[in-house]
C-alpha cells in the first residue's frame, strides 16, 4: 500500500526540523556563554546532584577560610597586647630594682611611684583591648563586658568569665581564638611570704633569696592544710642556730653573724641592737600562696613608695617581693603569648589546607559542570550549519508544490 505525502506534511516536517535545529543552537550558545554543561536537573539529574553537593562543600570551605582569617586576626591582636604588657612589666621591674636602693630619698621614691602608676594605667588599657567589632578580647564569652574594672576603692576586679571562645576552621577542627583574662591576669602568683611568732621580739625577718626559699616551700609546705606549715629557728646562747622543718628535722644550721643576722635557706633574720640573741625559738610560718592581678599589686607598691613612714629596710623587702610578683606576671603573660603563637601556626596550616581542599573541590565540580570552551564553540558552529541547511531546504520546498509533479 503506497503512502501519500501531502504538501502540508512536508511543510510541517521541515518546520519541525528548523525549530529543533534552532533549539540546539540556543542550547549550545547558552553553554558557551555560561560555561555550564546544563542549567536544570532535567538536563542532567546526576550532574545537578553532584553540583549541589560540591556547591555546599565549597561554600563551607569558603566560610571556614573566613573563620580562620578572623581567628588569625583576633589571635594577632591578643599576641600584640600580651607582648606590650610584657614590655610594660619589664619597665616596671627595672624601676623596682631602682626602688630597692636604700639611698633613694622621698623625691626619688615619688618619681619611681609615678612611673609605676603610669605603667599600671597602660596595663589596664591593654587588658581591656577591643577588636575591630568592639569586643573585649580577654573577657571570655562575655565579650561585651570590660575585662578589668576599677572599683570605687581604687582596686581592680576581673570581670572575665573564664571561658574561651572557639571558632570552627575546618570540618573537624575548632580553634581557640581567645584567652580569658581571669586565667591570664587575675590568677598570677604573688611572691611567697613568711610570718614570725614565738620568741620573736626585736627580730625582723624577710625572704632575701626567693629561689632558695621557694625550694624549701615546695618541699615542706602542706597544701592540704593538715600540716602546720611552720619552721622553727632555734638560737642558742652561744649564738648558734638550727633551722628545723615542720617535723622537727634539721634542714640548716650555722652561727649567727657578728652583726646579729642569720641567713639560711633564702631567709634573713635581723636581731635588733640591744636585744638578746639567744636562747630563743622563733616560729617561721610559711604563708599561704596568694594570687592577684598585677594592677592591684602595682597600686600597693606605689602606695608603699609614697609612704614616708615605712623604714628603708622594710621598703627594700617590699620592693624585692614586688620584683618577684612582677616577674611571675611576666612569665605568665609570656606563657600565654607562646600558646597564642602556637595556635596561630595551627590556623595558618588550616587556612592552607582549606584553600587546597576548596581548590580540589572546585576543580572536581568544574569537570562535571563546566564545558570545554573550544568544544562549546565547535558545537555552536555545527548547530549553526545545521540550522542554515534546514532553512535552505525549507526555502526550496516552500517554493515547490506536489502539483508540479502531476
* pLDDT tens figures, 28-85: 666 656 656 556 666 667 766 666 676 677 777 788 888 888 888 888 999 999 999 9
pLDDT at 265: 95
CB burial readout 358-393, b (16+ within 10 A) else e: beebeeebeebbbbeeeebeebbeebeebbeebeee
Q: Tell me the whole-structure pTM to 2 decimals.
A: 0.73
pLDDT at 1: 47
Span between the terminal Cα atoms of the chain, in Å: 20
Let me know the angle formed at the C-alpha of 163 by 161 and 167, rounded to the nearest 5 degrees: 140
Q: Which residue has the cell 634542714?
A: 251
User: According to the CATH classification, is domain 56-188+325-356 in 3.40.30.10?
Assistant: no
Query: What three-state secondary structure class fits 401?
Result: coil
Residues 6+ apart with CB under 8 A from 72: 344, 347, 348, 351
Let me know the angle formed at the C-alpha of 227 by 222 and 230, rounded to the nearest 5 degrees: 90
For residue 150, CA distances in Å to 85, 121, 128, 291 come to: 18, 11, 11, 18
List per-residue pLDDT tens for the chain, 406 residues long.
Answer: 445 555 666 666 666 666 666 666 666 666 656 656 556 666 667 766 666 676 677 777 788 888 888 888 888 999 999 999 999 999 999 999 988 877 778 899 999 999 999 999 999 999 999 988 888 999 988 888 999 999 999 999 999 988 888 888 888 788 888 889 999 999 899 999 999 999 999 999 999 899 999 999 999 999 998 889 999 999 999 999 999 999 999 999 999 999 999 999 999 999 999 999 989 999 999 999 999 999 999 999 999 999 988 888 888 888 989 999 999 999 999 999 999 988 888 888 877 776 777 677 667 666 666 565 666 566 666 767 665 666 666 666 665 555 555 5
pLDDT at 8: 66
Cβ distance 205 to 191 under 8 Å? no
Q: If we measure between CA atoms, which residue out of 168, 181, 174, 176 comes closest to residue 140?
A: 181
Beta bridge partner(s), residue 286: 194
DSSP state of 195: E
DSSP string, 204-262: EEEES-HHHHHHHHHHH--TTS-S--EEEEEE-TTSEEEEE-TTS-EEEEEE--TTSEE
What distance in Å separates the CA atoms of residue 249 and residue 242, rounded to the nearest whole number? 10
**Residues belonging to the chain:** 406
For residue 276, CA distances in Å to 54, 254, 271 come to: 89, 18, 8
Let me know the angle formed at the C-alpha of 135 by 129 and 137, rounded to the nearest 5 degrees: 50
Q: If we measure between CA atoms, which residue out of 94, 144, 116, 71 comes closest to residue 350?
A: 71
CB burial of residue 346 (10 Å; 0-12, 13-18, 19+):
middle
DSSP string, 57-109: HHHHHHHHHHHHHHHHHHHHHHHHHHHHHHHHHHHHHHHHHHHT-TT--HHHH
pLDDT at 110: 93
pLDDT at 230: 96
Instruction: Kindly calculate the radius of gyration of the chain based on its CA atoms and give it in whole angstroms.
Output: 42
Cβ distance 197 to 287 under 8 Å? no
> How do the domains of the chain map onto residue ranges?
56-188+325-356, 191-289, 374-406
pLDDT at 33: 64
Amino acid at each position: 500500500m503506497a503512502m501519500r505525502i501531502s504538501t502540508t506534511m512536508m511543510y510541517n516536517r521541515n518546520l519541525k526540523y528548523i525549530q529543533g535545529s534552532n533549539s540546539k543552537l540556543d542550547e549550545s550558545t547558552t553553554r558557551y556563554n555560561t560555561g555550564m554543561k546544563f542549567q536544570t536537573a532535567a538536563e542532567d539529574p546526576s550532574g545537578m546532584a553532584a553540583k549541589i553537593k560540591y556547591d555546599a562543600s565549597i561554600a563551607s570551605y569558603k566560610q571556614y577560610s573566613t573563620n580562620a582569617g578572623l581567628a588569625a586576626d583576633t589571635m594577632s591582636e591578643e599576641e600584640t597586647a600580651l607582648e606590650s604588657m610584657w614590655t610594660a612589666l619589664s619597665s616596671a621591674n627595672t624601676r623596682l630594682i631602682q626602688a630597692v636602693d636604700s639611698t633613694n630619698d622621698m623625691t626619688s621614691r615619688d618619681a619611681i611611684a609615678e612611673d609605676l602608676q603610669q605603667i599600671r594605667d597602660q596595663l589596664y588599657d591593654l587588658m581591656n583591648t577591643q577588636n575591630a567589632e568592639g569586643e573585649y578580647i580577654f573577657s571570655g564569652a562575655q565579650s561585651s563586658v570590660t575585662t578589668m574594672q576599677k572599683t570605687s576603692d581604687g582596686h581592680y576586679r576581673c570581670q572575665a568569665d573564664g571561658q574561651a571562645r572557639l571558632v570552627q576552621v575546618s570540618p573537624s577542627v575548632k580553634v581557640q581564638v581567645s584567652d580569658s583574662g581571669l586565667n591570664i591576669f587575675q590568677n598570677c602568683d604573688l611572691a611567697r611570704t613568711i610570718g614570725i611568732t614565738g620568741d620573736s621580739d626585736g627580730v625582723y625577718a624577710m625572704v632575701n633569696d626567693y629561689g632558695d626559699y621557694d625550694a624549701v616551700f615546695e618541699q615542706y609546705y602542706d597544701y592540704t592544710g593538715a600540716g602546720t606549715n611552720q619552721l622553727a629557728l632555734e638560737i642558742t646562747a652561744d649564738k648558734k642556730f638550727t633551722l628545723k622543718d615542720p617535723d622537727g628535722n634539721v634542714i640548716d644550721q650555722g652561727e649567727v653573724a657578728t652583726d646579729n643576722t642569720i641567713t639560711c635557706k633564702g631567709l634573713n633574720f635581723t636581731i635588733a641592737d640591744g636585744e638578746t640573741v639567744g636562747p630563743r625559738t622563733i616560729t617561721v610560718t610559711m604563708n599561704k600562696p596568694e594570687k592577684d592581678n598585677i594592677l592591684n599589686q602595682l597600686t600597693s607598691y606605689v602606695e608603699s613608695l609614697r609612704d614616708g613612714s615605712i623604714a628603708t629596710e622594710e621598703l627594700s623587702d617590699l620592693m624585692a617581693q614586688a620584683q618577684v610578683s612582677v616577674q611571675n606576671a611576666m612569665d605568665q603573660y609570656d606563657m600565654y603569648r607562646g600558646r597564642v603563637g602556637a595556635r596561630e601556626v595551627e590556623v595558618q596550616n588550616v587556612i592552607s589546607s582549606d584553600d587546597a581542599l576548596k581548590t580540589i573541590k572546585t576543580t572536581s565540580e568544574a569537570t562535571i559542570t563546566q564545558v570545554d570552551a573550544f568544544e562549546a564553540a565547535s558545537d555552536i558552529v555545527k548547530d549553526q550549519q545545521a540550522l542554515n541547511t534546514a532553512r535552505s531546504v525549507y526555502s526550496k520546498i516552500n517554493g515547490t508544490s506536489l502539483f508540479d509533479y502531476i
